[in-house]
Every structure is written in C-alpha cells, then in structure tokens.
Structure 1
C-alpha cells in the first residue's frame, strides 16, 4: 500500500544557465498557495488532466517544508519534505528527512533549480537534527550528485499456483491462531499498532502516520490515484493479539468457464515466521485464484523456499532499487545502528556538499554496538557520500561496490573486513512509497 509521488522528474541542476543568480526565486510556499503548487506538481509529473488535490496537500502542508521555484509569479518547480522515523540495523530509529514531490517544469530545466531547492532543504534538515535524508528516485542518474545512494531494493514475486500446491507441509503454525477479514475502519484502528511493532524489526522501514492510514483505507481519496476497497485480513494469536495482516486485491478474469484470477498482495506484515506462514497459506487458498503477485517483499524473504515448488515463483518485473539514503550526520547515523562483527574501519568520504566529508573511524565492540568519530588515521577505504548512503543500512556490500569501481580499497583486504563489520542479518527493506 504505497503513497503518492516519488522524487521524480527533476532538473540535474548543472548550473549552465542561471543557477544561484536569483532570476528564479526559491522559497517556501504559504498555506494559501497550496492550490497553485499542487497544479505545478501535476504538470511536473505529466498529469495535467488530474483534478486538483489541493485539499489533500493542505493536510501535508507544514511551514517551510513545501518549496517552490517562482518565476514571474508562476510556480515552475516543486519540492516537499517531511520528518519520519527510519529503522536502522539493530532496531533503533533515526530521524530522517523524507523528500518527495520533486518536479521541475520542462520550461525551466537546466537552470539549477533542483540543486537550489535540495541545498536549502538539506541544510534545514541538518539544522533540525536529521541524521539522514531519504527519497525514492524516479530517475537513477539525478540524485547521486546530491549524495544519495540506493540503499534498499523492492523485490516481488509472481507465483503460479498451478505449478505449486502452495506451502510445504510441516512449516511452523500458531496454536490457537485465527485469521479474520477486517473492515477498513478496523484496519485504521488496529493497523498502526501492528505496524509500529513490525517496523522496529525491519531495517529500512518507515513510520506510517495517521494520514497514511486514512488514505490507504479510503477515508481520504486523492484525485488521480484511483482507490478501490481491497480485501484485508488480520491474524491473531490464541490470546487475541494481532500478529499479522495481509491486504490484497483480486481481479475478475475467466478463461471461458474456468476461473483464472490473479491475487495481488498490496501489504504484508507478520511479526514472526509462524504468522507469516499462516497468512501465506490463507492467500494461496483463495478460491478462483491461479496466480499470486507479490509486488514488493523483502529481498531476502524466504517465501519461494516455503513453496512446495520454489520454481513456481518468478521475479516480479519491477524489481529494482527503491529507497535512497543520504547521510547528513555521519556520527549520529552510524552510532545508532548495530554491526555484524567487531573491528575497526576508517573511511575517507568525499562529499561536495560537505555534510559527510572527511575521514571517519567506525569502531565496533564485541556486542555489535559501534562508535563513529572523526580521525586523522590512514584510511582503509575511499568512497563518495552516495556510496556511504548505499552502505548505511546494509543493503549494499563493500566488495560489490569495490568491484564496480565505486569504492577504492586503500588497504589490502579492507573491503572484505568492512563487509563483515557492516553486515546485517536481515536485508534493508522499505515497503512504502512516499
């Protein structure tokens, strides 16, 4: 169950025309300017036909957080950020600056407008105490130059139920557990507590606010984003505590007189493996369904291995990088997470914006806690702020980046040693667009 807009059609901002000249003003919009800002957002996302979503945008408005580029009174670029909690390896959370609704009008590209908006927003985020900034990049080649790196992946599956009889026998169960359908009102009431428990177990997960739940359960509808009530089911243990949920839709497709329906999983939360198995068994038992599509699941989720025939699961077409991370406060970010092995690594970070630039020592104790400090010691690895962001949640590996020429090994064996240190038992994953 995703949200609306990503950091998408943007301006690479190489400054060839008038970057920083003041010919176009960059400023925060007032609350009474939300409607023209929303119109500019729709134009930027090539959705000029969409009705105004100004009422919804007013709910998102915060002083100083919706930016615009203004040329002769006309909004020609948009940018929004908001504060959110990000779970890091070990279960702690750090304050993150989430960036979305990024557009630059086709009439004003190549003028550095995105760079000016991004610089202003990141400076404000760092002043507010954000450890990192995050976004979802609609275009791969734009955001690395601002210090963002792809830190999580979305990974889904297409499962042919005619090739597998469902889950293997003998998988763990929940004694006394039960599954019941839930109304959207029940999801608004019970979903937030379940998600708050789940997100602390998943590095890369984000908090979901009240507006998220209202939108995803249909209490609030946003023009241009069709909402149809899905199916929702809750899993409870023997004591009646909610331990999992699945939200899905089913198409109505028949091959002559034979049902040939596809069930698409929109949201899946389970606090433990027995709950997950119970929910998957339920999903695979829905009448008339011949194919199950799981659009987004943790990249290391064992779902295919739970099937009677794992070959029945084939990769979803949209599997790709998803959430990007930009480290703003290196010490705060790396102190918050835990690590895979004791040791020490010194990183030389190049950052054109300056937030993460310098030489940093990450020292890990035997209990997996770490401390990150500035140092003058010789560096083991050299990398950019973008690669630092890619490595932060453990979703990328040092040896792979080194093999690609994106990390430079300054001490023989440093890449392998750093990989052991940064390794996480669970791959970073964020199921939510924003």
Structure 2
C-alpha cells in the first residue's frame, strides 16, 4: 500500500464523493440524475477508494459479471471499472495498489479471470492484461449500400417506444450474448444507466426497433439515432448512428442492416462499435464503401487461475499443449508456472505440470489469445510467444480458434 494512503471499500455516505473522483480524473461533469441510476446496483464491497487525509484521490470498482467463452460457456469474472487517480496524486503507487487489491478480491471469490476496458493502451499490460477482443467503427454511404443478395423474407422490423424496448431488449440480449465469445452480462441497472439514458447535450434523436422472425420470435433489436442535417437547398444529409445492434440469428442481422441502410434522408450510416468480423461488409455489393475508421481494443483479459480458465472454455479441435507462463505482477499466483492443457469441442482439463513447455509466454499474452481473438502465431511473430516444440504454434492456433470472433457487446 502506498504510504499515508488508506485503501478500502466506500460506505454508503461516501458514494457521491467516490463518483465525483473519477469524473474529475477524466475531466467530466457530475450528473445528479445519472448518479442515482448508477448506484441502484451497489456492490459496495467491490469498490475501492484511496484516501488522503479523508479525501478520495483514487478509485476502482468491480462488477460481478459473466463472460461468454468459446463453446457457449458462461464464466464468472471480475469486471474492472472506475479506475482513476486524481492528477494531484499521480506516480505515488495508488493505481498499482488498487489494481493489486482488485485482483486479490477476484481470486478470493474464485473468479478465474478479470476483464476491463482500457482508457489508455499503455496502462494495463504491466498488470497482466492482454487485448482479447477488438471492435471496429465504420461508415457506409447510403447511396452505396446495395446488397449482393436481398435479405431473407418473412420477418419484419417494427419501431417500438421506450417502454416496449425496456421490456423486450434484455431477453434478446441474453439469448444473443450466450453465443458470442467475449460478451459480458448486463446487470439490470445497465439498461437505464447506459442504453436508455440520454444526456442533455446529446445530439440527435434516438429510435428503437425490433426484428420479428417469420414465427414472430423477437430475434434482434437496434438502437440508433439520427443527427439531422439539411443543405441550404433543402436536401437531407443526415447521419444515422448505430448505438446498439444485437441479433440472435444471421437473418435478423441482415434484415436490420437493410432497414438501417434504407432510412430516408440519411446520407451516412455510422457504427461506433461492431465485431471485427462484422458480416455487413460481405453483404454489400460494393464492399470498399465499407470504410473502417477505427480498430479498437475492446476487451482486455487477465488470467488469474490458469488451470481453471483453460479448463472452462471449449476448443475448436482436440489437442494438447503445455504452456510456460510468466506473471511478473503476481509471480506466486495461479497463472504463473507450467500448465498442461488437454481439450477439445466437448471439454477440457488443465493442471500444473513439471513437463517442459511447448509454448512460453507472458500472462498478458495468454489473456490476449484466450478467446481466440489473436493467434499464438501472430503473437510469436510479434516476439511475444516462444515456440519450444515444433508445430506447437499451429496446434494451439487450431485449438483456440473462435467463430464468431470475440466481441464484448457491452461497456461497463
């Protein structure tokens, strides 16, 4: 623990100060209405604050969530959020202390992994986190959005109001996230605080739509907003921003994308966060009009218990691999050492071993490859994985392959 700083969970009467501290660190404004929504789901015992003479100068918070693994396995994880240190207290060991305490908490609760979104790409690798699931932002001009093939017929898209959306969207999301590697669960309060909360300064008008299949099952939804723009001579040049697109079936995704690309008076369709293997690109007749504006590091994974984490997921092909894992931040933890993995589509088993490793790597790179978002061969070409047994890279790549590509779906 840094000298002179007390680090502990906050009490109910300290919650507002705990909320204001990270806002100050990120240069944001306190919103009383959003504050009430945020703290309907407390888990105060999973908060951490650093105090300097009674003032909160650093924060961290954990959410108890589920992470979808390849093979449609749901694994409890510690979701790290609200990490901040006031600019007056930087470089004094507060961040390291909070990160260490949070990982200790996750281990004590039996969570095999921690996950997070990173505000800065340089911070979290030293704590053992690796980029496991990316996302893309892209635009498509409406006038160049023709499909190669028409979407399936029989279903229908319906605009719904806020009240209906609140009722039906969570169930659609639950069905979808169970088959999307890298997705995390959403607590009930997330919907009101994130998806349905509109800041006063937000530009544009939000709309909600559902997709019903031919048998009238709700298999998808989309939240989007239209930022209205008009030329001086009265021509519509609006932008349609896709905020949350969730689908259970390929048919639902194709139909909803066609709907979004057909909204009148829109010049550009823009999506801020979609999977790196988003199929819309391949639906378009003119695919080069699908312009990727940003590739982001969506979800970072930190393995805490290697035998438990590697045993939990399913593998694309049957095989055996021995990993030698280095964990500088927790050298005595359950992610450091040699681990023998035997797994396949029906299950896996992993345990400590004294056998020489086939692959040697750091715990951050094990986290990066864990969901199948990057191959071990790619990491080896980057100088991050050492192949000690010929053919081990190809074998591990085949085992860890994931389809679809991992995608987190939710910010937390």
State the TM bucket, normalised to the shorter chain.
Answer: over 0.9
Deviation >3 Å, runs of 4+: 49-54, 223-229
Q: Deviations over 1:325-369 (max 9, x none)?
A: 00112222221211121111100001121230010111124x452
Secondary structure of 1:355's match?
coil
> What's the TM-score once normalised by structure 1's chain length?
0.90
Q: Unpaired segments of 5 or more residues in structure 2? A: none
Q: Which residue in 1 is equivalent to 2:394?
A: 416
Q: Which residue in 2 is equivalent to 1:322?
A: 298
- Alignment counterpart, residue 94 of structure 1, candidates 68, 75, 78: 75
Secondary structure of 2:124's match?
helix
Asked if residue 157 in structure 1 is aligned to residue 138 in structure 2, the reply is: yes
Asked if residue 260 in structure 1 is aligned to residue 241 in structure 2, the reply is: no
CA distance in 1, matches of 2:302, 2:141: 38
Q: Deviations over 1:265-316 (max 9, x none)?
A: 1111121112211111111110011111111111112211101211111102
Q: Which residue in 1 is equivalent to 2:146?
A: 166
Q: Which residue in 2 is equivalent to 1:371?
A: 349
CA distance in 1, matches of 2:44, 2:139: 43
- Alignment counterpart, residue 380 of structure 2, candidates 402, 416, 419: 402
Q: Which residue in 2 is equivalent to 1:191?
A: 169
CA distance in 1, matches of 2:166, 2:339: 44
CA distance in 1, matches of 2:323, 2:145: 50
CA distance in 2, matches of 1:239, 1:339: 33
Q: Which residue in 1 is equivalent to 2:39?
A: 58
When residues 390 and 260 of structure 1 are mapped into structure 2, their CA distance, relative to the original with a 3 A threshold, is same
Q: Deviations over 1:395-416 (max 9, x none)?
A: 1110110011111111222212
- Equivalent residues in 2 for 1:105-254 (5 A)? 105-162=86-143, 164-171=144-151, 173-175=152-154, 177-218=155-196, 226=202, 230-254=206-230
CA distance in 1, matches of 2:383, 2:200: 42
When residues 347 and 426 of structure 1 are mapped into structure 2, their CA distance, relative to the original with a 3 A threshold, is same
- Equivalent residues in 2 for 1:225-374 (5 A)? 226=202, 230-256=206-232, 257-316=234-293, 318-352=294-328, 353=330, 354-365=333-344, 367-374=345-352
- Alignment counterpart, residue 358 of structure 2, candidates 372, 377, 380: 380
Secondary structure of 1:230's match?
strand
Q: Post-superposition shift, 1:57?
A: 4.2
CA distance in 2, matches of 1:227, 1:126: 42
- CA RMSD after TM alignment: 1.8
Q: Deviations over 1:90-137 (max 9, x none)?
A: 101000100111101111111111111111111111111212101111
Q: Is the Cα–Cα contact under 8 Å of residues 29 and 68 in structure 1 kept in the other structure?
A: yes
Q: Which residue in 2 is equivalent to 1:8?
A: none
Alignment size in residue pairs = 407
CA distance in 1, matches of 2:181, 2:374: 13
When residues 212 and 42 of structure 1 are mapped into structure 2, their CA distance, relative to the original with a 3 A threshold, is same
CA distance in 2, matches of 1:263, 1:112: 44
CA distance in 1, matches of 2:22, 2:291: 36
Q: Is the Cα–Cα contact under 8 Å of residues 372 and 405 in structure 2 kept in the other structure?
A: yes
CA distance in 1, matches of 2:145, 2:403: 30
Q: Deviations over 1:131-178 (max 9, x none)?
A: 21011111111111111101010112210122x24222344x142x11
Q: Is the Cα–Cα contact under 8 Å of residues 142 and 262 in structure 2 kept in the other structure?
A: no
Q: Post-superposition shift, 1:54?
A: 4.1
